[in-house]
Amino acid sequence: MQRRKVTLKLYPNAAQAARLEDWTRLHCELYNAALEERIDAWRKEGKSISSFDQQNVLPQIKADRPEFIALGSHALQQTLRRLDLAFAAFFRRVKAGQTPGFPRFKSSMRFSGFAYPDPAGWKLMQHGGRGATLRLGSGEAAMSIRARGRHRFGDQAKPNDITLTRKGGGWFVSVTLRVPDAACARERTADFRRGVDFGINDWATFDEGPPIANPRWLREELPHLAALQRQRARKKNGSLRFKRLGRRIARLHDRIGNLRRDFVQKETTRMVRQCAVLATEQLAPKTMSRSAKGTVDAPGRRVRQKAGLNREILSAGFGMVHRMLAYKAEEAGTRLHLSHTRQLKPSQRCAACWELVPKTLAQRVHGCPHCGHTAPRDQNSAMVVLIDAFNTQDTSGTGVAARPKPLPRQRGKSKSVTRETPATTPCV
Ligand SMILES: [Zn+2]
């Protein structure tokens, strides 16, 4: 059994939308009341309360305020647990020496939604094609909301829990499915062995063959976004026009996010379907996108360029790429190899002779002074991680440190290097 998440868009009618808003407001009220109770208990008695203590009060609340009954007890408990999570995150960060903000009271406008933690109080019916119906609540308060979206797991997938969220004026339901392993499997159409380098000039460069160009959603949409933000900056804060522009900006952000997710979903699926071995480097987006500003004493260099680069890095969504590749590779029986970036230094290493050839980010071509091998920079690093995948047996990738001795020197085209390297076990 495995867990998979799918998101469906909801199409509530006006009455249903109003009720969803009402329910969100009540959940928010509960959240704020629970937060206040915790703060009071701590101030007055130095006592901390958990969500379990607070759950016990729920029946009393429902007796006093019957409008809470329709929300379902488990959904209410889930909102209390959400507060627990907020506190847990707060204390974890305090412990780590950071200075987090204390869990906040939320306005119902900002409260994102609510969740049902188990298969009770709701039912999701799939109608074939893309149509579905979500039935919420019971008795008089029950409502059947039209939904759109589908998943590929068929009838064996059982919905386990749902989260309803409000985003950009629309409602979405995120469903966790329990799927039998067999239904998760993906068919593979080819058994290529590929090294891939994810970048910002091209989105993905392979050890051979054409790269996948970067669609650059952000570059195309960014001037538009910036213009809207400038317009909003001229409006009076909180005015009608200010809010209207705020909504347009939010919608544009959503649009960019949707385009990105769609693109990455399709490309990662294609990769794992075609490859028996897929090698790439481990990811460290935090260090890659670290602020270039530096400090007052040691100001950074090329701050503007680095800021633009950060934006591109984040927009390309490599974290998302790796998460998708990880589970999709497992589903397709593809061996995903992640090279240790700092040990291996794929962008600095020569794929033909394995010597380190330092270059700056601006140098787009790898030219090796040791063996004369030249290749486009990204293609060279894709080749290096692919070789690394053959040299290390485990999927996690251990890189240079684990290698007993460097590869024998080889001359000529890098292509021959991989093809002649004996294959390791294809799948793990
Ligand atoms: Zn070389």
The phi, psi pair for 181, rounded to 5°, reads -50, -40
Task: Kindly report, residue by residue over 134-159, the tens digit of the pLDDT.
Answer: 999 877 778 999 999 888 888 888 99
CA distance 144 to 54: 31
Helices (H), 56-97: 58-64, 73-95
Look at residue 295 and tell me whether its pLDDT is greater than 50.
no
Mean pLDDT of 259-283: 90
Band (272; pLDDT cuts 50, 70, 90): very high
Q: Tell me, what's the pLDDT at 396?
A: 43
Closest alpha carbon to 195 in 5, 382, 401? 382
The residue ranking higher by pLDDT, 266 or 297, is 266
Q: How far is the CA of 192 from the centre of ligand 1 (A)?
A: 25
CB-based contact 422:384 (threshold 8 Å):
no
Q: How far is the CA of 125 from the centre of ligand 1 (A)?
A: 59
360-395 burial code (b ≥16 CB/10 A, e <16): eeeeeebebeebebebbbbbbbbbbbbbbbbbbeee
Task: Kindly report, residue by residue over 404-414, the tens digit of the pLDDT.
Answer: 334 444 333 33
Residue 121 DSSP code: S
Q: How far is the CA of 374 from the centre of ligand 1 (A)?
A: 8
Closest alpha carbon to 12 in 121, 137, 132, 144? 144
CA distance 218 to 213: 14
Q: How far is the CA of 412 from the centre of ligand 1 (A)?
A: 10
Mean pLDDT of 409-425: 36
Q: How far is the CA of 411 from the centre of ligand 1 (A)?
A: 8
pTM: 0.73
Q: Tell me, what's the pLDDT at 309?
A: 54
Q: Tell me, what's the pLDDT at 316?
A: 58
Q: How far is the CA of 376 from the centre of ligand 1 (A)?
A: 13
Q: How far is the CA of 197 from the centre of ligand 1 (A)?
A: 19
Q: How far is the CA of 371 from the centre of ligand 1 (A)?
A: 4
User: Reduced to 3 DSSP states, what percent helix, strand and coil does the chain have, rounded to the nearest 5?
Assistant: 45, 20, 35
Look at residue 394 and tell me whether its pLDDT is greater than 60.
no
